[in-house]
């Protein structure tokens, strides 16, 4: 079962210290973390997110895999057909 836990802190340092404690709990196998993030609201009201795991890399890897698989399944047979017709 998955859970989303949100904790609020008065300072950025407090949030980062808690994140480090969560990582320590995970190392000791007390909890399982899929991801963690610290969100800081700036003076202008905008939020800055510092995420533990980059989702861009995972998305790029998944896209590359599916692109390669679809290319092999659907476009490679056409190359063989064209080579056979030309030769």
pTM of structure:
0.52
For every one of its 87 residues, what pLDDT tens digit does the chain have, with 9 covering 90 and above?
678 888 888 888 998 898 889 889 989 999 888 878 888 888 898 888 887 765 555 566 677 776 766 666 666 666 665 666 665
What is residue 7's predicted lDDT score, i.e. its pLDDT?
86
Contact, 50 vs 40, CB < 8 A?
A: yes
User: Per-domain residue ranges for the chain?
Assistant: 1-53, 54-87
Pair type for strands 37-41 and 47-51: antiparallel
């Amino acid at each position: 079962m998955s859970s989303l836990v949100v904790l609020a802190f008065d300072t950025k340092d407090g949030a980062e210290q808690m994140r480090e404690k969560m990582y320590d709990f995970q190392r000791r196998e007390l909890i399982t973390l899929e991801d963690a993030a610290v969100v800081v609201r700036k003076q202008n009201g905008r939020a800055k997110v510092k995420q533990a795991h980059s989702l861009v890399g995972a998305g790029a890897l998944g896209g590359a895999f599916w692109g390669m698989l679809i290319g092999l399944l659907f476009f490679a047979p056409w190359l063989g057909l064209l080579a056979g017709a030309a030769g």
